[in-house]
Amino acid sequence: SRRVSSVPLLDITYSILFEAVTTLLVFFSYQLFSKDIRRDGLIYQHIMKGRCLSLTSRIVKTLLYNFIRQEKCPPPATHIFEAKAEGGLLYGLASGVASGLWSVFTLGGAGTKSDIDQDDNHLPLSNQSLLLLLVLANLTDGPDFPNPYRQAITCFRNTQDTSVSPVEQPHTFQINFNSLYTALCEQQRSDQATLLLYTLLHQNSNMRTYILSRTDMDNMVLPILEILYHVEERNSHHVYMALIILLILTEDDAFNRSIHEVVLKSVSWYTERSLTEISLGSLLILVVIRTIQFNMTRTRDKYLHTNCLAALANMSAQFRCLHQYASQRIISLFALLSKKHNKVLEQATQSLRVRQGDNTAIPDYAQDLNVIEEVIRMMLEIINSCLCNSLHHNPNLVYALLYKRELFEQFRTHPSFQDIMQNLDMVIGFFGQRLEQAGNDLSVEQVQEVIMKGAQALPKDRLKKFPELKFKYVEEDQPEDFFIPYVWSLVFNSGVGLHWSPQGIELFSMDSG
């Protein structure tokens, strides 16, 4: 620990620092071979309460800077480690270690997995430091003491912050937030960098405030959206972390406003359709809706649905100048949900009929129907929130709503949706009437002009007020049950030069990905 925190990072010290960080990971790896979350052990006691305690802030700061600097492994310094005639055994051993480490760095070592980003092998110290940082941050609290490394991560401040904290937090330190932000933006292709970003946003209020104040937020949001866009290729944990990051960001109204002011010339990784001159906000909506649709057809994970809809709901009151395609996709998602609702309703009705004359086991569709109606209700609330708060800023959404107005007919008298449908009915009726007055055979441009003029004339007091849609991310009880196996799966899969026998792993299932 002392070596990790005190030895400067130079070409000549790179190997020994890498070995020190790796050794600490190996010391903690006993957790891999236990199904239960371990809160004991000699190493645990020593790192949490022993002489290492005074080094806590220095260790965390050093590991963060190792991640920030992204130093590539230096070329083999053979002239330094060369065995000299008068050097004796020590020089010979050092030379062997140096050449061995170089082969691990450049070739990946015995523990390399085929699906690991090869950059990990070119940045071994950065990668290994990040893994150790995540392991330390997720050590469980002791019976009578908190995790000091988590405390350090929770309270560190910006080097530019000259204010004096009224209450000095234990293990606090200062670090360059600009450098850390830049590194986080550049490294989101890896699970571990996304997990670090989540940890900082969720636990460090100083870092969260700084990130939300940035004017180049697209540098961070775009990589997160790219993770979600390639949902088929990512593991579920990485997708969850990306989605929760968006949910935390959308809790901030200033963020929800600013993302509609950032206009993107093009989005290279969005291949379904050429997107030009689209706002970051509209792109975020498109990607989240695509994630919902993927989930509906593949994984059917209610947790994923809930978080996607919560992010959209948080944004809905600040929707501004929605792109035509984003507006279409909102209504298309509602159409898909409506179709799904009708199918489940039909299955439930048939199931009820069969049960009256047959005692054999039949699937219960009541729960499925309840879930789909909850999602439909949420989508109606999102559309309604936009109409109530920013209708005059979103002619494209009104156009899409009018174009598919028949979708909403079946829900007008449904007891679960009657109240929320009043506003949608009023808007559809108001603009429908103005379009009839304008005459037949209107062009798209003429329809949009009628909508824009109508938006100015619509009396706002005719729209029924509903409570503001706001959702806040809260960690589950006992989050360590999720995070500790996740962190150690990252160490197992992407630790450079590390190898554990899969047969002995008990913390997570080896066939679960």
Please report the pLDDT score of residue 357 as a whole number. 54
Yes or no: say if 385 and 469 are a contact pair by the CB < 8 Å rule: yes
Please report the pLDDT score of residue 476 as a whole number. 86
**Dihedrals φ, ψ of 264, to 5°?**
-100, 130
Low-confidence ranges of the chain (pLDDT < 70): 1-7, 76-121, 164-167, 299, 352-364, 510-513
Please report the pLDDT score of residue 101 as a whole number. 37
What does pTM read for this prediction?
A: 0.86
Sequence-ordered list of residues with C-beta below 8 angstroms from that of 102, at least 6 positions apart, any chain: 73, 76
- DSSP single-letter state for residue 175: E
Instruction: Name the 3-class secondary structure at 264.
Output: strand
Neighbour count for residue 140 (Cβ, 10 Å): 18
- Count Cβ atoms within 10 A of the Cβ of residue 6 and give its class: 0-12 exposed, 13-18 middle, 19 or more buried: exposed
> What letters, b where the CB count within 10 A reaches 16 and e where it falls short, cover 324-342?
bbbbbbbbbbbebbbebbe
Sign of CA dihedral 495, 496, 502, 504: negative
Please report the pLDDT score of residue 463 as a whole number. 87
Strands 263-266 and 174-175: what pairing? unpaired
Please report the pLDDT score of residue 360 as a whole number. 52
Least Cα distance to 31 among 493, 484, 374, 398 occurs for: 484
Please report the pLDDT score of residue 353 as a whole number. 65
Please report the pLDDT score of residue 257 as a whole number. 96
Please report the pLDDT score of residue 119 as a whole number. 53
Yes or no: say if 477 and 9 are a contact pair by the CB < 8 Å rule: no
Rama region for 501: left / alpha / beta (φ>0; ψ in -120 to 50; rest)? beta
Please report the pLDDT score of residue 75 as a whole number. 77
Q: Which residues pair with 266 in a beta bridge?
A: 276
Please report the pLDDT score of residue 279 as a whole number. 97
